[in-house]
């Protein structure tokens, strides 16, 4: 078929890894007889410098007109030094909130041939296959401001006693319910277990979260359901990752837990993500696909970036937004094969590994 | 010398592990010629049932009159089911906030003879010796309510659109400054490195945190200083724990990161903590000492609880509140010796280990 994909390479290693994802998509196109049309747009620091905003409204419109969005990374060393009034991260917030991508899916499934790359023991890791469903348009990221402006410096108030900064963690039952439903639906296609993570012994928003979660769980009697406090979850993720199937949690907890969980997969450079909402396209749901890693300014331009997270994000794009399941599976199999053959990027360097640069790794996977 | 210690055993395994800590303190008393007088008070579920509050004002007054407070754990299976109007955790919040224990010190130093008990590879762990300095009287735990009432259910508001729950994350520059100073002072006695953890790419409170941290850091040119985002920290803690010396962070981030870090030490049952404020006593600073683990209702009364976290908390009590450094070191050496000899509790069960129950472990350590 014919599909249009908006490409937002962004900052740092974003363009490097996105390029490889596109090479792999092109390999899929020629192998399976599809046509992918790419619309490239600026995002992050480059967009701020060229267009005055981390992502322009015109670019958002292009996203809305396409079948899916492939995103690299934003941010940079100069992000927090006050040089730019607008932060590059605003692009992510605008995309997520503006296009209502409330469900962020982050699968963590360590490859068997990569277990040794993890700081965690192989016997603890073996069999791990979990999915974090992170709420992406609520909580501390957006507060109660209308329109929401995350990290707005004016929320730091000067008082007679000094400066005071306030962030607001707000959830409505409707927001909680819809993300819980995504988790339970996903669990039905998997190992039929949902772990809802909160801090109900401290937070009001977590008390509400628990109430709503219990209500939703009643609609899925075939799915095993449990609550877990976020601190305990941070521990159990490392202690016994095989205990988990679907983990569902609010925005910031999901952010922290997935970075932690990346260690199960050996490197942050391995983990893809999909952000989905309610918008439909001709072929499926509109979605934003991005590696969970950031722009990594320290290794930019050195060919050290691992493109696999971006390539696996492209696979999720094929599956969720374009409805191309076999094509997605072909990419996953190619990644597995190349890793199995002993090829690695810098982040996964090991005794006896054949270390490739970003481009070489992309080409190997495209070829496979 | 003569010292009075308030003992708050609390719920679940709290009394079991606290008993062993007291046995060890008694061994220290007779070996070093001190007199410890214990005042036991109710806290948690028992206090709610007997006194209508998770900790009574009279008990708080007893705490204030003593040289130090030894705390077990609070909470239970029934804590979140609405059976009690007051949550047992309120005791912790009242103690921490009421007595202004703003600095929670959580050292993480895996014992060499226990490296194999961790899910993390020994070669990653070896040499780990870090201290988390967690802010304990601010942030989402207390919001902007006056008086602060964490997790107050009435913060869930019924609106025409449904229920909405709000928590507030508030920090003043004064609160940030004093906890940063604790971290830098601690670093001077250690490896002279401070990592300040925040989420400055999203939260206003973290932007203020960074500003104040930079200001304080300027007063400690002899200490290496870095900022790290909380998600990255959750990853690096597992990836390369030896990179850290002192980690300083806000309340909830500290809660999550220390539970995660417990896996470095092999078990949550190994980690002690000290909560300090500005109140002085005749011998040092008033402090609250507690294991970082909870009440563990699932193993209560089975002799499976590991008393080492409570015993090491008693060692911190001797060091920080009573100024008894050699006595504290003697306890730490005893714990190390007993573990070295191959004795373990259930949580540390391994091939070839001599597994003891809670009491037996306490006695072995007291004897050593
Ligand atoms: C860049 C940052 C704002 C972002 C987030 O916190 O959501 C990132 O960490 C992520 O996980 O996508
Ligand atoms: C019991 C709970 C409220 C507490 C906290 O979150 O502070 C605990 O997890 C801790 O770390 O001391």
Residue A43: CB atoms within 10 A of its CB come to: 33
Which of A233, A265, A297 is the C-terminal boundary of a domain?
A: A265
Report helix, strand or coil for A108.
Answer: strand
Q: Compute the distance between CA of residue A37 and CA of residue A6 in angstroms, rounded to an integer.
A: 8
Q: Compute the distance between CA of residue B98 and CA of residue B86 in angstroms, rounded to an integer.
A: 17
Smallest CA-to-CA distance from B140 within B73, B93, B197, B80 is with B93
Nearest-CB residue to A172 (from B119, B164, B239): B164
Q: What is the CATH number of the domain that holds B174?
A: 3.40.718.10
Residues on chain A touching B79 (C-beta within 8 angstroms): 201
Atom of ligand 1 nearest to the CA of A252: 6
Residue A343: CB atoms within 10 A of its CB come to: 18
Do B97 and B136 reside in the same domain of the chain? no
Whether residue B111 lies inside any domain: the answer is no
Do A215 and A284 reside in the same domain of the chain? no
Do A64 and A96 reside in the same domain of the chain? yes
Report yes or no on whether pTM surpasses 0.85. yes
Q: What is the mean pLDDT of chain A?
A: 93
Residue A83 has pLDDT above 90, yes or no: no
What pLDDT was estimated at residue A147? Answer: 43
Strand partners, B91: none
Cα–Cα–Cα angle for B1, B5, B7, nearest 5°? Answer: 155
Any idea which ligand is nearest the CA of A251?
1
Whether residue B346 lies inside any domain: the answer is yes
Cα distances (angstroms) measured from residue B226 to each of A223, B193, B210, B247: 44, 8, 10, 10
Do A281 and A206 reside in the same domain of the chain? no
Query: What DSSP state is assigned to residue A227?
Result: E
- Which residue segment(s) compose the domain that A172 sits in? 119-134+144-265
Q: Compute the distance between CA of residue A29 and CA of residue A47 in angstroms, rounded to an integer.
A: 29
Residues on chain B touching A141 (C-beta within 8 angstroms): 202
What pLDDT was estimated at residue B83? Answer: 56
Smallest CA-to-CA distance from A92 within A260, A279, A273 is with A273
* A231 belongs to the catalytic site: yes
CB contact under 8 A, A208 and B165: yes
Q: How many domains does chain B have?
A: 2
Do B42 and B74 reside in the same domain of the chain? yes
Do A232 and A246 reside in the same domain of the chain? yes
| Average pLDDT, integer, range A59-69 | 97
pLDDT band at residue B142 using 50, 70 and 90 as cut-offs? confident
* A129 belongs to the catalytic site: no
Do A7 and A99 reside in the same domain of the chain? yes
A349–chain B nearest CA distance, Å: 14
- Between A36-40, A355-359, B162-166, the lowest mean confidence (pLDDT) is in B162-166
Residues on chain B touching A263 (C-beta within 8 angstroms): 235, 238-239
What pLDDT was estimated at residue B152? Answer: 52
What pLDDT was estimated at residue B77? Answer: 56
Do A325 and A336 reside in the same domain of the chain? yes
Residue A280 has pLDDT above 60, yes or no: yes
* A325 belongs to the catalytic site: no
pLDDT in tens, B23-45: 999 999 999 999 999 999 999 99
Do B290 and B321 reside in the same domain of the chain? yes
Strand partners, A166: B170
Cα distances (angstroms) measured from residue A38 to each of A8, A25, A69: 10, 11, 10
B12 is written with which tokens?
């679940």
Residue pair B36/B3 in contact (Cβ under 8 Å)? The answer is yes
pLDDT in tens, B112-134: 999 999 999 999 999 999 999 99
* B354 belongs to the catalytic site: no
Extract the annotated binding site of B. 96, 106, 134, 231, 255, 259, 294-306
Residue A350: CB atoms within 10 A of its CB come to: 12
Whether residue B110 lies inside any domain: the answer is no
pLDDT in tens, A305-351: 999 999 999 999 999 999 999 999 999 999 999 999 999 999 999 88
pLDDT band at residue A352 using 50, 70 and 90 as cut-offs? confident
Q: Compute the distance between CA of residue A189 and CA of residue A222 in angstroms, rounded to an integer.
A: 12
Residue pair B247/A222 in contact (Cβ under 8 Å)? The answer is no
Q: Compute the distance between CA of residue A201 and CA of residue B75 in angstroms, rounded to an integer.
A: 9
Name the residue of A229, A231, A233, A234 to mutate for ligand 2: max ligand atoms within 8 A of Cβ: A231
Q: Compute the distance between CA of residue A314 and CA of residue A309 in angstroms, rounded to an integer.
A: 9
Do A190 and A202 reside in the same domain of the chain? yes
Whether residue B334 lies inside any domain: the answer is yes
Do B131 and B260 reside in the same domain of the chain? yes
Residue nearest to atom 7 of ligand 2 (CA): B255
Smallest CA-to-CA distance from A291 within A113, A4, A92 is with A92
Whether residue A83 lies inside any domain: the answer is yes
What are the backbone angles phi and psi of residue A349, rounded to the nearest 5°? -50, 130
pLDDT in tens, A25-36: 999 999 999 999
Extract the annotated binding site of B for Mg(2+). 231, 255, 259
CB contact under 8 A, A80 and B258: no
What pLDDT was estimated at residue B147? Answer: 44
Whether residue A139 lies inside any domain: the answer is no
Q: Compute the distance between CA of residue B68 and CA of residue A231 in angstroms, rounded to an integer.
A: 27
Q: Compute the distance between CA of residue B355 and CA of residue B349 in angstroms, rounded to an integer.
A: 7
A161–chain B nearest CA distance, Å: 9
Do A294 and A235 reside in the same domain of the chain? no
Which of B213, B240, B265 is the C-terminal boundary of a domain?
A: B265
Residue A44 has pLDDT above 60, yes or no: yes
| Average pLDDT, integer, range B89-109 | 95
pLDDT band at residue A291 using 50, 70 and 90 as cut-offs? very high
B214 is written with which tokens?
């930079």
Residue B148 has pLDDT above 50, yes or no: no
B220 is written with which tokens?
């400690």
Which of B220, B245, B265 is the C-terminal boundary of a domain?
A: B265
């Amino acid at each position: 078929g014919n599909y249009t994909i908006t490409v937002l390479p962004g900052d740092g290693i974003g363009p490097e890894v996105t390029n490889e994802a596109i090479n792999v998509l092109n390999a899929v196109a020629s192998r399976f007889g599809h046509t992918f049309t790419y619309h490239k747009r600026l995002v992050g620091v480059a967009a701020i410098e060229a267009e005055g905003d981390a992502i322009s409204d015109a670019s958002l419109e292009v996203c809305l007109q396409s079948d899916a969005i492939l995103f690299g990374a934003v941010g940079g060393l100069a992000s927090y030094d006050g040089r730019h009034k607008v932060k590059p991260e605003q692009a992510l917030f605008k995309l997520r909130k503006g296009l209502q991508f409330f469900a962020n899916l982050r699968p963590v499934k360590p490859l068997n041939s990569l277990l040794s790359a993890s700081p965690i023991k192989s016997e603890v890791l073996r069999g791990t296959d979990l999915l974090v469903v992170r709420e992406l348009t609520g909580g501390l990221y957006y507060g109660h401001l209308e329109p929401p402006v995350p990290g707005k410096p004016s929320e730091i108030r000067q008082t007679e006693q000094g400066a005071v900064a306030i962030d607001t963690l707000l959830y409505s039952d409707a927001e909680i319910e819809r993300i819980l439903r995504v988790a339970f639906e996903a669990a039905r296609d998997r190992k039929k277990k949902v772990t809802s993570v909160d801090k109900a012994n401290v937070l009001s928003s977590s008390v509400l979260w628990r109430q709503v979660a219990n209500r939703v769980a009643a609609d899925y009697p075939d799915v095993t359901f449990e609550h877990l406090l976020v601190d305990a979850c941070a521990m159990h993720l490392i202690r016994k990752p095989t205990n988990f199937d679907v983990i569902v949690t609010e925005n910031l907890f999901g952010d922290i837990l997935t970075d932690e969980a990346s260690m199960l997969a050996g490197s942050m450079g391995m983990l893809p993500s999909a952000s989905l909402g309610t918008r439909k396209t001709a072929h499926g749901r509109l979605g934003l696909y991005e590696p969970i890693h950031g722009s990594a300014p320290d290794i930019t331009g050195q060919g050290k970036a691992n493109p696999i997270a971006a390539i696996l994000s492209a696979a999720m794009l094929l599956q969720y937004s374009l409805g191309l399941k076999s094509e997605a599976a072909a990419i996953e199999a190619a990644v597995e094969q190349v890793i199995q053959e002993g090829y690695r990027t810098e982040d996964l360097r090991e005794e006896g590994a054949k270390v490739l640069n970003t481009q070489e790794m992309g080409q190997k996977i495209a070829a496979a």
